[in-house]
A and B are shown apart, each in its own frame.
Chain A
Amino acid sequence: MFWAMLLEAIRAIAANRMRSFLTMLGMVIGVGAVVLMLAVGEGTRVTIKKQVDALGTNVFIILAGFQSTSGARTGSGSSPTLTVNDAQALSELEGVNAVSPVANNYLQLVAGGQNWNTMVMGVNQEFFTVRSWEVELGRPMDELDVQGASRSVWLGQSTAKELFGNIDVVGRSMRLKNVPFTVEGILASKGQSLDGRDQDDTAIVPLTTSLRYLAGNQFRGSIRMLMLQAKSAEVMATLEQDIRQLLRDRHHLTPDQDDDFFLNNLSAVMASAEATAKAMTLLLGAIASVSLAVGGIGIMNIMLVSVTERTREIGVRLAIGARRMDILTQFILEAILVSLTGGLLGLILGGGGALLVQAVWRTSVVISPTSMVLSFSVSAGIGLFFGFYPAWKAARQNPIEALYFQ
């Protein structure tokens, strides 16, 4: 029975090819738009997550405060409020996994005939844990490097390529501010950061080395930035309070004084970025849904026309024993078939569009199976919903009136 009805529906659709195609077009555009939006939205979300993950998970960034001299504020880190000792104290807090001071300097790197300007980070050995950054070639930084201020450098892959032409350069020597260094390791690739910087264009040296040879600091033992990793996401909230309290105590701040440091929770940054991406996806999805609804109305309209055109046929079917349910099923099946075919074409169109977006704008898109199943079932649902009224109208026809309809 089902197959006979399906065949009947295919015939009815094929009998009015142009009309059926135009009706489907509404669904094609609607489903295509939804699939495209979901793919781009999901792609954005994944990109953000990847970038934030690249910064390290459950990470706090603590920046030194700013100075205010005769009205001109000099920016965070310009006041010597954070010290290496603060880092030491923070590492003893409950829930802290790793802490590293970070001293950034833009310097000219020289190796053989090549030179290259990049950011040189002075850190301790825990920095690699905080940033979840592996050393791909060579050895990791250890405590001895930091204690002895060794002239060792770990290069990002982009920097290594700029200086040496390849990344297989462990053991080679180079110069920073005319001080000879040995390349001890090459870092694993991290890709782009949230603001589009190439994170692989960097060089890492021990903090002590940085302070001694590369960037003298007017305040001894002071640092501009600390990176801290919590043991788990659950302790982030408590830890944030503990860090603030500890630093305020150590800096002898009275309750009415503001913090003399900035405490940033990267998970919160990620959460807000994700929320933005999600809101964007929802908004675009809502707009796309409108076209789906319009497509559905198109189906309903054409099905009503079709029911009127086939009034006599309905009369004949009723006369030879079709029950109302049989008529209802037949017309709903036809509506679903139209919307499903349209949905399927839309899926292909939307998927193709997403790949085009990826190719042209170089943003990543993700066509998830969920979005495919979703759009497929939504188009079936639209066929059912918008096909119901015309089908119901067909099924409740009076057999005599239908039979003698002119």
Chain B
Amino acid sequence: MTSVIETKDLKKTYRTGAGDLEVLHGVNFTLQVGEFVAIMGPSGSGKSTFMNILGCLDAPTAGSYRLLGEAVKDLSPDQLAYHRNRYIGFVFQGFNLLPRADLLENVALPLLYAKVPGPQRKKKAMELLDRVGLAPWAKHRPNQVSGGQQQRAAIARSLAVNPSLILADEPTGNLDSQTSDEIMKLFIELNDQGLSLIVVTHEPDVAACARRLAKFHDGLLVEDSPVSDRRRP
């Protein structure tokens, strides 16, 4: 069976005024279907850069990255956009919902770019909101609901096009611990239904919810092991 993600000797170098700066020194990482990986590491360890490459937001300088068996290299910006739209769901720390649109429209947005017709967009978005328990707030705008609700709407949005992978960058960073647990519960539930997940976090409690833990340090993957004592909030 094809892996969802497979990187080999992945390197990323940034050109800065002071010379080239290599932030990833060759990362080998594989994610199988249905896995739930937490990525941890101090700031500057390269985990964000790694996530950006996995999310097709950035291209590696060297090495290979295969997403669902397809090499992500030398793709045009529009092809990358297509991959982001069809295969990956993003969840951000700051929720990143559009402030002027209501939750329903926010959830339906990826479907708009996938060129799904209007009525179907609405129907699907409503189902997703229902799934994350936000159906009564469908017509509310982001600033009219709580942070936890915004993040759940963002998760619903990431699920809109039935992606193969959810990438969550510090999804609980802006939330209190109780709300964080609710969000992690939702992630575990989604993972139990077979969805592959990668969560970047610096909270051990959050990382403990994953099945596998990968640790970054100085641009290298220094530890990659199953979570022995898994937490289920």
B110, A321: Cβ atoms closer than 8 Å: yes
- In chain B, positions 76-91 with a C-beta closer than 8 Å to chain A are 77-78, 81-82, 84-86, 90
A403-B112 contact given A319-B57, A323-B81, CB 8 Å threshold: no
B29 on the A face (CB < 8 A): no
| Complex Cα–Cα for A363 and B13 (A) | 73
A250 on the B face (CB < 8 A): no
Among the 9-residue stretches B93-101, B181-189, B190-198, the one with 4 or more Cβ atoms under 8 Å from chain A is: B93-101
| Main DSSP-derived SS at the A contact region | helix
A400 on the B face (CB < 8 A): yes
Q: B48 → chain A, closest Cβ, in Å?
A: 9
A318 on the B face (CB < 8 A): yes
A322, B81: Cβ atoms closer than 8 Å: yes
A400-B57 contact given A1-B115, A321-B81, CB 8 Å threshold: yes
A321, B84: Cβ atoms closer than 8 Å: yes
Complex partner residue of A12 from B85, B100, B161, CB under 8 angstroms: B100
| Complex Cα–Cα for A321 and B163 (A) | 12
Q: A142 → chain B, closest Cβ, in Å?
A: 78
- In chain B, positions 94-140 with a C-beta closer than 8 Å to chain A are 96-98, 100-101, 109-110, 112-115, 118
B58: chain A residues at CB < 8 Å are 400
Q: A216 → chain B, closest Cβ, in Å?
A: 91
Interface string of A298-332 (1 = CB under 8 A from B): 00000000000000110111111111111000000
Complex partner residue of B96 from A4, A316, A321, CB under 8 angstroms: A316
| Complex Cα–Cα for A319 and B88 (A) | 9
B115, A319: Cβ atoms closer than 8 Å: no
A4, B118: Cβ atoms closer than 8 Å: yes
Closest to A325 in B: B78
B57, A320: Cβ atoms closer than 8 Å: no
A321-B86 contact given A4-B118, A313-B98, CB 8 Å threshold: yes
B78, A323: Cβ atoms closer than 8 Å: yes
A15 on the B face (CB < 8 A): yes
Closest to A316 in B: B96
A320, B110: Cβ atoms closer than 8 Å: yes
Interface string of A16-34 (1 = CB under 8 A from B): 0000000000000000000
Interface string of B136-180 (1 = CB under 8 A from A): 000000000000000000000100010000000000000000000
B55 on the A face (CB < 8 A): yes
A403-B57 contact given A11-B100, A325-B78, CB 8 Å threshold: yes
A312: chain B residues at CB < 8 Å are 96
B98: chain A residues at CB < 8 Å are 313, 316
B113, A320: Cβ atoms closer than 8 Å: yes
Which of under 10, 10 to 19, 20 to 34, or 35 or more describes the interface residues of B?
20 to 34
Q: A9 → chain B, closest Cβ, in Å?
A: 11
- In chain B, positions 189-233 with a C-beta closer than 8 Å to chain A are none
A317-B55 contact given A11-B101, A322-B81, A324-B78, CB 8 Å threshold: no
B109: chain A residues at CB < 8 Å are 317, 320
A399 on the B face (CB < 8 A): yes
Q: B67 → chain A, closest Cβ, in Å?
A: 14
A219 on the B face (CB < 8 A): no
A361 on the B face (CB < 8 A): no
B84: chain A residues at CB < 8 Å are 318-321
Complex partner residue of A319 from B55, B82, B118, CB under 8 angstroms: B55
Complex partner residue of A322 from B57, B113, B118, CB under 8 angstroms: B113
B161: chain A residues at CB < 8 Å are 321
| Complex Cα–Cα for A15 and B98 (A) | 13
B113: chain A residues at CB < 8 Å are 317, 320-323, 326
Q: A394 → chain B, closest Cβ, in Å?
A: 13
B7: chain A residues at CB < 8 Å are none
| Complex Cα–Cα for A134 and B120 (A) | 71
Q: B102 → chain A, closest Cβ, in Å?
A: 11
| Complex Cα–Cα for A183 and B204 (A) | 115
B52 on the A face (CB < 8 A): yes
A316: chain B residues at CB < 8 Å are 92, 96-98
Interface string of A52-67 (1 = CB under 8 A from B): 0000000000000000
A399, B57: Cβ atoms closer than 8 Å: yes
3 closest A-B pairs (Cβ-Cβ)? A321-B85, A321-B113, A316-B96
Give the interface of B toward A (CB within 8 A). 52, 55, 57-58, 77-78, 81-82, 84-86, 90, 92, 96-98, 100-101, 109-110, 112-115, 118, 157, 161
Q: List 23 A-B contacts (CB under 8 A).
A: A1-B112, A11-B101, A15-B100, A313-B98, A316-B96, A316-B97, A316-B98, A318-B57, A319-B55, A319-B84, A319-B96, A320-B110, A320-B113, A321-B82, A321-B85, A321-B86, A321-B110, A323-B78, A324-B81, A325-B78, A326-B113, A400-B52, A403-B57
Give the interface of A toward B (CB within 8 A). 1, 3-4, 8, 11-12, 15, 312-313, 315-326, 399-400, 403
Q: A319-B84, A320-B157, A323-B81 are in contact. List 5 more A-B contacts (CB 8 A).
A: A316-B97, A321-B81, A324-B78, A400-B58, A403-B96
